[in-house]
């Protein structure tokens, strides 16, 4: 029988941590504390103000299959009420192109038809050969099994054996080649690489497909998207306001010690005692302040992340883009460090910022310095004929923590999942599922269902 009065510490006030609080509360646990290092909640859902409106420096949008985010909306009595999004495309020289329109690409009609057929084939393969591929989290995948909750509103618990799932450890480009669907990468790359999640020659297919399962990708293709007028950060601000225990902001955790069946957390110089702890902040940094075990140190040292840079820039009214633009030419490893997408959130005015996005690292390449990448992006905006007149805000995120193909195939996730609950410690957050707000929130829901 679960003890609903036990004291639970949650580290992190982003989507994962706040969702953990919500799902615990729904199950009758009210003795939880959420500790957030920053002076605000939301994590990489970051929506600053500018000229009376909010813009996005992190997460931008959702889709109808974001069921955990919808749980939050229902809990708070809010809905997705933001501007409708659309996009167009440019080549690296700033020319507007329509890469998926046959009438505008006569010479590419055979390729476009082949791509269409491969997308259909891919959808069928995912439902049959790779049954279970879209279950939240990665538990069992490297062993050829699935165990989790279906991506449906009901989120029924499903388990099963499927040896083909081991293929998901391959880099996504190899996975596609193996299945004869290389051209689907033309569709998947927009909402993946442009959104900062790395390149298809380095990232295991499991990550790509946990995030961009078939229904989610088709929603992106059709621009069937959710946004929030006050930004994605507002979702989590609202959740924090509706929780019985608000996140404690500006909480500097210097030490976590687990002994005698308790967890002792030193916060702003004061020691606090808990029964259990849920870590939703980056697991890579656990050895820096935890009494980490040898196994924790070994496993979490394998985590890598993306260096994903965002600029918010002003333009002169005559230089403001008419729409958001994707630059597919710049989404290849050869062009890392270049502008991949720039985003116009507000279509009814030109007194708002646009935001730019670039990746400056690749698994097999030298990391580009931040200032060099920034300079390249600003030059690219000139090439796009939308030069910046000023930089209003900038950030380089610790983005999309993940492990490489070899580590994934060796059972990294099974080992970490096997440690859940040891020393009163539970692991959640981005790396346990995927680095978007819905996957992290959904993993917190699953964690609470499994262990509390």
Q: How confident is the model at residue 136 (pLDDT cuts 50, 70, 90)?
A: very high
Identify the pLDDT of residue 176: 98
CB proximity list for 237: less than 8 A, separation 6 or greater: 40, 41, 42
Residue 107 has pLDDT above 80, yes or no: no
Q: Is the pTM of this model over 0.75?
A: yes
In this predicted structure, what is the pLDDT of residue 364? 85
Dump pLDDT digits (tens) for 138-177.
Answer: 999 999 999 998 888 888 899 999 999 999 999 999 999 9
Pairing of β 145-149 and β 96-97: unpaired
Measured CA to CA in angstroms, residue 102 lies from 110, 181, 321, 327, 331 at distances of 9, 20, 25, 19, 22
Confidence of residue 1 (pLDDT cuts 50, 70, 90): low
SS3 (DSSP) at 132: coil
Quickly count: other Cβ atoms within 10 Å of residue 180's Cβ: 11
DSSP lists the bridge partners of residue 33 as 9
Gap between the Cα atoms of 289 and 425, Å rounded? 14
Question: How far apart are the C-alpha atoms of 57 and 60, rounded to whole Å?
Answer: 8
Q: Would you state the pLDDT for residue 250? A: 98
Please give the average per-residue pLDDT across 352-381, as a whole number: 97
Half-sphere exposure of 56 (CA within 13 A, CB side): 26
Query: Residue 140: enclosing H or E segment and its boundaries?
Result: none
**What are φ and ψ of residue 55, in 5° steps?**
-120, 175
Q: In CATH, which of 3.50.50.60, 4.10.220.20, 3.30.590.20, 3.40.50.720 is domain 8-48+68-76+229-303+404-451?
A: 3.50.50.60
Taking domain 99-221, whether its CATH number is 1.10.405.20 is answered by: yes
Q: What percent of the chain has pLDDT over 90?
A: 94
Task: Give the integer Cα–Cα distance in Å for 99 and 96.
Answer: 10
125/164 Cα distance (integer angstroms): 11
**Rg of the chain in Å (alpha carbons):** 22
Domain regions of the chain by residue span: 8-48+68-76+229-303+404-451, 99-221
271-301: buried (b, 16+ CB within 10 Å) or exposed (e) per residue? ebebebbbbbbbbbebeebbebbeebeebbe
For residue range 391-400, list pLDDT tens digits in order: 999 999 999 9
Average confidence (pLDDT) over 257-279: 98
Cα–Cα distance, 293 to 422 (Å, whole number): 11
| Mean pLDDT calculated for residue range 278-294 | 97
CA distance 179 to 166: 14
Residues 270/281, Cβ–Cβ less than 8 Å: no
Please name which of 3, 435, 436, 444 lies closest in space to residue 232, comparing C-alpha atoms: 436
**Where residue 99 falls among pLDDT bands split at 50, 70, 90?**
confident
């Amino acid at each position: 029988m679960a003890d609903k009065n036990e004291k639970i510490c949650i580290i992190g006030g982003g989507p994962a941590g706040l969702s953990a609080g919500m799902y615990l509360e729904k199950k009758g646990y009210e003795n939880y504390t959420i500790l957030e290092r920053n002076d605000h909640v939301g994590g990489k859902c970051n929506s600053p103000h500018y000229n009376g409106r909010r813009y996005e420096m992190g997460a931008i949008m959702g889709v109808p299959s974001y069921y955990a985010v919808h749980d939050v909306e229902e809990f708070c009595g809010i809905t997705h009420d933001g501007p409708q999004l659309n996009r167009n495309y440019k080549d690296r020289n700033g020319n507007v192109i329509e890469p998926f329109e046959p009438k505008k690409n006569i010479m590419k009609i055979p390729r476009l038809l082949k791509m269409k057929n491969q997308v259909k084939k891919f959808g069928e393969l995912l439902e049959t050969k790779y049954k279970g591929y879209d279950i939240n989290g990665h538990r069992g995948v490297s062993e050829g099994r699935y165990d989790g909750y279906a991506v449906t509103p009901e989120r029924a618990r499903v388990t099963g054996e499927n040896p083909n799932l081991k293929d998901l450890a391959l880099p996504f480009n190899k996975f596609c080649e193996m299945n004869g669907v290389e051209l689907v990468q033309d569709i998947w790359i927009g909402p993946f690489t442009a959104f900062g999640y790395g390149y298809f020659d380095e990232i295991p297919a499991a990550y790509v497909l946990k995030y961009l399962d078939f229904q989610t990708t088709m929603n992106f293709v059709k621009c069937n998207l959710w946004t929030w007028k006050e930004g994605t950060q507002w979702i989590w601000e609202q959740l924090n306001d509706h929780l019985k225990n608000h996140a404690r902001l500006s909480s500097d955790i210097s030490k976590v010690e687990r002994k005698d069946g308790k967890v002792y957390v030193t916060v702003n110089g004061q020691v606090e005692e808990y029964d259990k702890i849920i870590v939703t902040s980056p697991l890579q940094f656990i050895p820096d302040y935890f009494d980490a075990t040898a196994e924790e140190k070994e496993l979490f040292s394998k985590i890598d992340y993306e260096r994903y840079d965002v600029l918010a820039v002003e333009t002169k009214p005559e230089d403001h883009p008419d729409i958001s633009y994707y630059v597919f030419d710049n989404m290849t490893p050869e062009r890392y460090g270049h502008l991949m997408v720039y985003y116009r959130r507000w279509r009814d005015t030109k007194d708002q910022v646009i935001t730019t996005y670039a990746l400056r690292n690749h698994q097999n390449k030298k990391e580009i310095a931040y200032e060099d990448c920034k300079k390249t992006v600003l030059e690219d905006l000139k090439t796009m004929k939308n030069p910046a007149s000023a930089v209003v805000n900038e950030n380089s995120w610790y983005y999309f923590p993940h492990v490489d193909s070899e580590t994934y195939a060796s059972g990294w996730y099974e080992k970490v999942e096997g440690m859940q609950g040891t020393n009163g410690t539970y692991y959640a957050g981005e790396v346990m599922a995927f680095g978007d707000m819905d996957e992290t929130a959904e993993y917190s829901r699953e964690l609470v269902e499994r262990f509390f």
